[in-house]
Structure 1
């Protein structure tokens, strides 16, 4: 297993996105910290994955295509578009994925590659947000469209159903 972090928009959405992928063994949502100037705590997830089933490049592409990787919206600085690496070997692959994304969209991505220095998990009541109740209005409005996109564009790595599965 390998481990990597992702930050984008709401960690409820990000958690649901990565839980929908084959080869992802665990997703922990919470708050991630990196080095200055990105040392404020921002929403994110830590993903444990099997690189024999899903590559870091695919995880990064899914991430870039399911949040606002090109925009600058961040209420109170709690959203940071980033791929948080845990070792130096992950950095080039993450950077290449961001470059490929920028080339295919024709716009620069604001997503950063940062070292993961700290993680604080969300409160228990927020963990596995989509899996515990996919019928919540928030899930229907914000997470379901991302999961539909994954099923359409990443069908080879998409799980058939994410909702109401054991965490």
Structure 2
């Protein structure tokens, strides 16, 4: 089996990571930073909004179990792709909605996914398709955050359960048995 990768930015990486860890065919989810100018930025630097990076996740997946287009459909269903540089109370370019395709086929699928999602939206989708850029894994304490400590974080408790409810409602057939 060859692992394929998808890199997505949909606001707070804790919140997007929590969604994808529940999907069949997802082998790994890593939180990190992409799309900025500074090498090896810290969380504090990215949060300042001055590095140009987005908080993002890199998903390792088995294309025999889940397709890239399916990952993108989940992406559009579980965050707000119509708010520019914002997800809820998180404001700044580091919280932008962006797709970072790994190849031309992923770029084409990203364009198709945006068109599919736009058909279900009244507001224009502002998700960008950005060129692949260096990936910087976030600090260890950000990895698997929801699983480890999220239920003790009021921010996570306000944001993540509604995303997981959308996931269960719209993609029940895609969930791991432990997530159903």
Per-residue Cα deviation, 1:104-159 (whole angstroms, up to 9, x for no partner): 22332111112221111111111100111342233321111111111111001112
Corresponding residue pairs, total = 159
Unpaired segments ≥5 residues, structure 2: 38-50
Q: Do the aligned partners of 1:34 and 1:114 also contact (CA within 8 Å) in 2?
A: no
Matched, 1:96 2:96: no
Q: Do the aligned partners of 1:34 and 1:115 also contact (CA within 8 Å) in 2?
A: no
Report matched runs for 1:142-161 at 5 Å: 142-161=159-178
SS in 1 for 2:95: coil
- Write the distance in 2 (CA, Å) between the matches of 1:51 and 1:101: 21
SS in 1 for 2:52: coil
Specify the alignment match of 2:73 in structure 1. Answer: 61
Which residue, 4, 7, 10 being the options, matches 2:9?
7
> Which of 82-91 and 138-147 deviates more?
138-147
Specify the alignment match of 1:165 in structure 2. Answer: none
- Write the distance in 1 (CA, Å) between the matches of 2:174 and 2:100: 22
Cα RMSD of the aligned pairs, angstroms, is 1.8
Specify the alignment match of 2:47 in structure 1. Answer: none
Q: Do the aligned partners of 2:85 and 2:94 also contact (CA within 8 Å) in 1?
A: no
SS in 2 for 1:154: helix
- CA shift, 1:63, in A, is 0.6
Unpaired segments ≥5 residues, structure 1: 163-167
* TM-score computed with the length of structure 1 as normaliser: 0.87
Q: Do the aligned partners of 1:34 and 1:116 also contact (CA within 8 Å) in 2?
A: no
SS in 2 for 1:105: coil
